[in-house]
Amino acid sequence: MENKTEGELYIVATPIGNLEDITLRAIRILKEVDLIAAEDTRQTLKLLNHLEIKKTMISYHRHNEGIRTENLIKQLKDGKKIALVSDAGTPGICDPGEDIIKECIKENIKIIPIPGACAMINALVISGISTKEFTFVGFLPLNKKNRREKLEEIKKANKTVILYEAPHKLKNTLKDLSTILVDREIVLVRELTKIHEETIRGTASKLQDNVEDIKGEIVLIIEGAKTKEIEQLDKMTLDEHYAFYEKQGIEKKEIIKRIAKDRNVSKNEIYIKFI
Residues of the shown chain interacting with ligand SAM in the complex, contacts defined by CB under 6 A:
16-17, 86, 88-90, 93-95, 118-120, 164-166, 189-194, 217-219
**Closer residue to ligand SAM (CB): 90 or 127:** 90
Q: Of the two residues 138 and 273, which places its CB atom closer to ligand SAM in the complex?
A: 138
Spatial distance between the Cα atoms of 129 and 241, rounded to a whole number of angstroms: 27
The least CB distance from residue 192 to ligand SAM, in Å, is 3
**In the complex, minimum distance from the CB of residue 190 to ligand SAM, in angstroms, rounded to a whole number:** 6
Which amino acid is it at 78?
D
Question: Smallest Cα–Cα separation from 204: which of 227, 228, 170, 231?
Answer: 170
Q: Please identify, using beta-carbon distances, which residue of 43 and 193 lies nearer to ligand SAM.
A: 193
Q: How buried is residue 56: exposed, middle or buried, by Cβ count under 10 Å (0-12/13-18/19+)?
A: exposed
CB of 275 vs ligand SAM, minimal distance in Å: 44
Closer to ligand SAM at the Cβ: 117 or 182? 117
Least distance between ligand SAM and beta carbon 17 (Å): 4
Query: What is the secondary structure of 107-118 as a DSSP string?
Result: TT-EEEEE----
Quickly count: other Cβ atoms within 10 Å of residue 70's Cβ: 11
Q: How far is the CB of 137 from ligand SAM (least distance, A)?
A: 11
Residues 6+ apart with CB under 8 A from 197: 190, 191
CA 9/CA 21 separation, integer angstroms: 21
Query: Can you tell me the distance from the alpha carbon of 19 to that of 44, in angstroms, rounded to the nearest whole number?
Result: 11
H or E stretch covering 98: helix 98-106
Q: Which residue is nearest to ligand SAM (CB)?
A: 89
Instruction: Using CB atoms within 10 Å of the CB of residue 20, give its burial: 0 to 12 exposed, 13 to 18 middle, 19+ buried.
Output: exposed
When the beta carbons of 25 and 226 are compared against ligand SAM, the nearer one is 25
CB nearer to ligand SAM: give 164 or 242: 164
Q: Which is nearer to ligand SAM, 221 or 256 (CB)?
A: 221
Residue 237 CA to residue 246 CA, distance in Å, equals: 14
Closest alpha carbon to 14 in 25, 26, 24: 26
